[in-house]
Amino acid sequence: MGESDEVSINRFDDSPDALRQAIDFCGGFDRLRKHFFVLIKPNVCVGRNRNIPPFGVVTTSRFIELLIQILMEEGVRDISIGEGSIVTAMSNTMTAFAYAGIDRLSKKYGVKLIDLNRGPFRKISIKGFDFELSDAVFDADFVINVAVLKNHFQTKVSLCMKNLKGCLSKKSKRECHKRDLERSIALYNTVIPVDLNLIDGIYALINGPWIDSGVPRRSDLIIASKDRLNCDIAGSLVLGVDPNDVAHMKEFSMLKSRSAPLCEVNIRGEKIEKIRVQDRYEQNDLFQEIFQRGGIKGICFPDPGKSICSGCFGNIMVALLIFCQDNQGILLDDAEIIAGKERKVTGNRNVTLLYGDCAIENNEDAQESKGIIKLGGCPPTFYRTYSTILKTLLNEKEADRQLFEMISLKTKEKEFSFFDHLEPPTFDIRHF
Ligand code: SF4
């Protein structure tokens, strides 16, 4: 293992010094030149109501701000921040930049914000998988990948390698889920150039990828490496995940003919044993967690697996979060929701909602008359999602009342008491 493979882990102390030291320790700026066009790729995967806290979900604007300051000290002037976020009625790349507070950096430092969803894209075929990848990452002279420290229900961790999915077109992102998500992540990482990988660990998110089911922790860590795999190995260990159990990391290692077991990395700085945010990651039932937070019984949402993509996931998560907030403690009439391509209707529930085209196609024998409701769309819009959930689970009068209330209130003003315990100084919204 050469020097360029080293990982540095430092404590975040809200100054540029710790970040600068982490970058210096791993030789992160060795190749950087003043005249370079630098592209920063944060993880701002989604734009949401700011009353749904972003801790551990998206890269903090504070971390990006310190990075910009350090780059400017190096004399770099041509800096852009690029992301291709989930697109729904309420989310797009620009609302995601606002959710993370990154939009204000554009005005303050004169950096450009690039929506990678808009293209142009180049088509690249790797081992029979076709990808449309944003030209911006190839046009940049120096790419800095800034992930968040979080678990992900589909891939165990969402770190540097998964973060680069934001460089794909919307079509390619969907296809990753339809084909083989973990293999796709490994494959696009063989061609997307990255010069420096950073993990923003000011907050970690256990049971992510979103706070709806996740448990954020203040962890004050910075992980840095020129090598994306080693950076992710260190991040996994901090998250209590054995890197050898992360399929996309194993696959990438094989594709790159790297034979060492995925835990042997040279780490400078903090000792993993002392900074782990959890000893062992246990994958929880994401949706059951949301129902439990609302004290709601009589409903199940079986794990949709790796085939559900962000469009369906994004809309139904928010719709259920609002539903659970507004209907705390109720007992439902033995209902189930099926989404993605991997789940079959159980047939023993009083009511089943088949959510999205994938679930409907995968259950084409299911007949609507037998307590089965089908909501098509790829994905179904948020409004149709939310109104169908209300009409499926509540009586007509109550469903109409709640729908009217939500329309008058506007979703972005909705408040969520589930997160009231995330208070300063531990959880500081000024980091976003
Ligand atoms: S129906 Fe939903 S899960 Fe299936 S491809 Fe469309 S958005 Fe993705």
| pLDDT, tens only, 44-81 | 999 999 999 999 999 999 999 999 999 999 999 999 99
421 alpha-carbon distance from chain centroid: 22
Q: Name the segment(s) of the chain with CATH classification 3.40.50.
A: 3-282
Average pLDDT over residues 301-319: 92
In short, whether 375's Cβ falls inside 6 Å of ligand 1 is no
In short, whether 194's Cβ falls inside 6 Å of ligand 1 is no
In short, whether 309's Cβ falls inside 6 Å of ligand 1 is yes
Instruction: Report the pLDDT value the prediction gives residue 294, as an integer from 0 to 100.
Output: 96
**360 in helix, strand or coil?**
helix
Work out the pLDDT band at 347, boundaries 50, 70, 90. confident
314 pLDDT higher than 80:
yes
Residue 278's nearest CA partner among 222, 215, 220, 328 is 215
205 — phi, psi (to 5°)? -125, 110
What value does the mean pLDDT of the chain take? 95
Q: Is the torsion defined by CA of 62, 68, 72, 73 positive or negative?
A: positive
Q: For ligand 1, what atom is nearest to the CA of residue 339?
A: 3
- Tell me if 18 sits within 8 A of 178, measured CB to CB: no
CA–CA gap between residue 193 and residue 204 (Å, rounded): 26
154 pLDDT higher than 90:
yes
Which residues make beta-bridge pairs with 144? 40, 196
Average pLDDT over residues 299-325: 93
Lowest mean pLDDT among 24-33, 233-242, 277-286: 277-286
What class has domain 3-282? alpha beta
Task: Give the pairing type, strands 372-375 and 37-42.
Answer: unpaired
Closest residue CA from atom 4 of ligand 1: 358
Ligand 1 centroid to 422 CA: how many Å?
32
Work out the pLDDT band at 366, boundaries 50, 70, 90. confident
Residue with tokens 């142009």: 120
Residue 122's nearest CA partner among 37, 190, 186, 191 is 191
In short, whether 308's Cβ falls inside 6 Å of ligand 1 is yes
Which residues make beta-bridge pairs with 40? 81, 144
185 pLDDT higher than 60:
yes
Task: Give the pairing type, strands 215-225 and 196-206.
Answer: antiparallel
414 pLDDT higher than 60:
yes
Lowest mean pLDDT among 168-182, 239-253, 396-410: 396-410
